[in-house]
Amino acid sequence: MSRSPSLPDRPHRDIDPDLPDDERIEALRGHYEDLVEVNEQLSDQLEEADQRRQRLHERVDRVERENETLKSSSLYIATVEDVLDDEEVIVKQHGNNQEVLTEISSRLADRVAAGDRVAVNDSFAIQTILDAETDARAQSMEITERPEVGYEDIGGIDEQVREVREAVEQPLAEPEIFEEVGIEPPSGVLLYGPPGTGKTMLAKAVANKTDATFIKMAGSELVRKFIGEGSRLVRDLFEMAREREPAIIFIDEIDAIAATRTESKTSGDAEVQRTMMQLLSEMDGFEARGEIRIIAATNRFDMLDRAILRPGRFDRLIEVPEPDRDGREQILEIHTRGMNVGDDIDFATLADDTEGYSGADIESLATEAGMFAIRNERDEVCHQDFLEAVEKIENDDSSDVISSAGYFYQ
């Protein structure tokens, strides 16, 4: 950019008041001429500045117009299949799988590699390389080929395990039984109950048992993190499951997308509605005897829109409650299996001491007890460590309440 020219010096003449009149007039005339000259210089500079301002205005207008065009023209998503040399690549457009040989601008040439997801324009010129952040599909789903959770890792909910096996595992493992009897297996299974009671574990254990891919999507994230993309991601979820059959689709916190319709008509609600409609239509067009099973989970059964519970949708409801005394004892045993525990541990009394604990709470309790052993320089965890862990967890819980209340009333 050109720098502004410096201002001319201000003309200055010392005129002696005692000079004879004609000499003073001559000096004043000289001063006047200096002033005229500076004035001319300033006028020229002003005119130049005006012209520069005009040019900058035109440039801003042009950039704004280009920006608008860029914003309004749609780009397509493609994957780079092969980089042939520095200037040419083969891309495959998503959706229609069309393969195209395209040139690449020097700006992007050394940054593109095979496998990258890119945005291309109408003429397939690569506009940007999409980073992992933009890859909502990958981010919104957790895919595990074969989760490492078995039924033996789940304690205190034997009846629920049996029901899930019957409703989800059996149709996958022995679809012919359903055909012979002439009934459709349940389309979707809804697990409901308090947090940390083993709902996700149950879904993973079925996937493990049936050698199925486990694909998890969290309803709350669809609504909070991937605004505007919910229905597309739900479609992608089912597409992904079809590509990887046999598969278990697990939709956690389904209440976030399937809550009872409220009166308010905000755009956020409309978006959530669209996501739910997409889910319902995917389920309605679903082959119940196929190799994909759907499990959803919620802690807020009361909030659910009854439309999702209709036959052919989530038509098998299984409550997963907080563990009872025997359940807590079983879960304590499960979570101490890999620990070096002393003979003095009495799981039965610990189960009495942990009323109201969920499975997840018991898992943290075991870790906390282990920490006490380490702190006391022992490599064996004893009963007292568990008692101290219970005390610590209970104190932490009450301080949490206090601090959150404090924050609330600040």
Q: Give the residue ranges of the annotated binding site.
A: 196-201, 335
In angstroms, the CA 60 to CA 42 distance is 27
Q: Which window, 58-66, 84-92, 195-203, 242-250, contacts ligand ATP (CB under 6 A)?
A: 195-203
Q: Is 201 or 279 the residue whose CB approaches ligand ATP more closely?
A: 201
Helix or strand run (H / E) with residue 99: strand 99-103
Q: Is 223 or 334 the residue whose CB approaches ligand ATP more closely?
A: 334
Closest CB 262 distance from ligand ATP, rounded Å = 23
Closest CB 344 distance from ligand ATP, rounded Å = 23
3-state secondary structure of 295: strand
CA 57 to chain centre: 41
**DSSP bridge pairs for 189:** 295, 316
Site string for ligand ATP, 235-254 (x = CB under 6 A): -----------------x--
Q: Which residue carries 């862990």 as its tokens? A: 389
Q: Of 77, 117, 82, give the one whose Cα is nearest residue 102.
A: 82
Annotated binding site for ATP: 196-201, 335
- Please pick, from the candidates 360, 371, 387, 393, the single residue that binds ligand ATP as defined by CB under 6 A: 360
In angstroms, the CA 255 to CA 169 distance is 24
DSSP character for 381? B
Q: Is 200 or 354 the residue whose CB approaches ligand ATP more closely?
A: 200
Q: Is 118 or 154 the residue whose CB approaches ligand ATP more closely?
A: 154
Helix axes 325-335, 359-375, angle to 10 degrees: 50
Q: Is 117 or 204 the residue whose CB approaches ligand ATP more closely?
A: 204
In angstroms, the CA 208 to CA 169 distance is 10
3-state helix, strand, coil in the chain (%, to 5): 50, 15, 30
Q: Is 80 or 167 the residue whose CB approaches ligand ATP more closely?
A: 167
In angstroms, the CA 320 to CA 32 distance is 98
- Please pick, from the candidates 241, 297, 308, 366, the single residue that binds ligand ATP as defined by CB under 6 A: 297
Q: Is 155 or 186 the residue whose CB approaches ligand ATP more closely?
A: 155
Pairing, β 126-130 against β 141-144: unpaired
Closest CB 111 distance from ligand ATP, rounded Å = 39
Q: State the number of binding residues for ligand ATP (CB under 6 A).
A: 19
Closest CB 180 distance from ligand ATP, rounded Å = 34
In angstroms, the CA 246 to CA 400 distance is 43
Closest CB 206 distance from ligand ATP, rounded Å = 12
- Please pick, from the candidates 186, 198, 219, 370, the single residue that binds ligand ATP as defined by CB under 6 A: 198
Closest CB 331 distance from ligand ATP, rounded Å = 4
> Position 140: which residue type?
S
> Position 100: which residue type?
V
Task: Tell whether residue 201 is a contact of ligand ATP (CB under 6 A).
Answer: yes
Closest CB 335 distance from ligand ATP, rounded Å = 6
- Please pick, from the candidates 140, 187, 197, 278, the single residue that binds ligand ATP as defined by CB under 6 A: 197
Q: Tell which positions 305-334 bind ligand ATP, by CB under 6 A.
A: 331, 334
In angstroms, the CA 290 to CA 248 distance is 11
Cα dihedral 392→394→395→399 (10° resolution): 130
Q: Tell which positions 146-185 bind ligand ATP, by CB under 6 A.
A: 154-157
Q: Which residue carries 């005390």 as its tokens? A: 391
Structure tokens at 200: 């996700």
Q: Is 200 or 275 the residue whose CB approaches ligand ATP more closely?
A: 200
For ligand ATP, the binding residues (CB under 6 A) are: 154-157, 195-201, 252, 297, 299, 331, 334, 359-360, 363
